[in-house]
Amino acid sequence: MLKRHTLIALFFVLILALAGCGGDEPEPTATPSAAQPTATPVPAASGDAEAGQTVYMGTCIACHGPDAKGVQGLGKSLYPADSEFVRSKTDDELVAFILVGRTPDDPLNTTGVGMPAKGGNPAITEQQLRDVVAYVRGLK
């Protein structure tokens, strides 16, 4: 039972990372590129959106919901139209954020729910994270 709760919590964390744990806040300082937000339009995603949807449905759905509009108190909307955080980051910055995650006590965390590195799923590869970012970029 404890393992199941831990796994669910880890899924919540990945979703929160994709949502930026606060939508329009800057990236956490633990990420090397955190001090360099982008002001230019984000380039096209470097992943496979279809593959990213599969990863999303297996991991991110727990906090961001099946429609990626967020789950209150857990994860925010990942739609670029709803999230300044998603809109303002490059694919590399979003992947770097998910790789590191965010602690519940991070001042930029507005939900109070932590997100472990890779959303708590150590099996997720960097390419799979790029695929998830491509999926998120295509949400309309």
DSSP calls for 93-119: HHHHHHHH-B-TT-TT-SS---B-GGG
Q: Which pLDDT does position 117 carry in this prediction?
A: 82
> Which of the 8 DSSP states describes residue 52?
H
SS3 115: strand
Quote the pTM value: 0.66
Q: What's the pLDDT tens digit per position in 123-136? A: 999 999 999 999 99
State yes or no: pLDDT of 112 exceeds 60: yes
**Domain parsing of the chain, residue ranges:** 2-137
CA 119 to chain centre: 8
Domain spanning 2-137: which CATH class is it, in words? mainly alpha
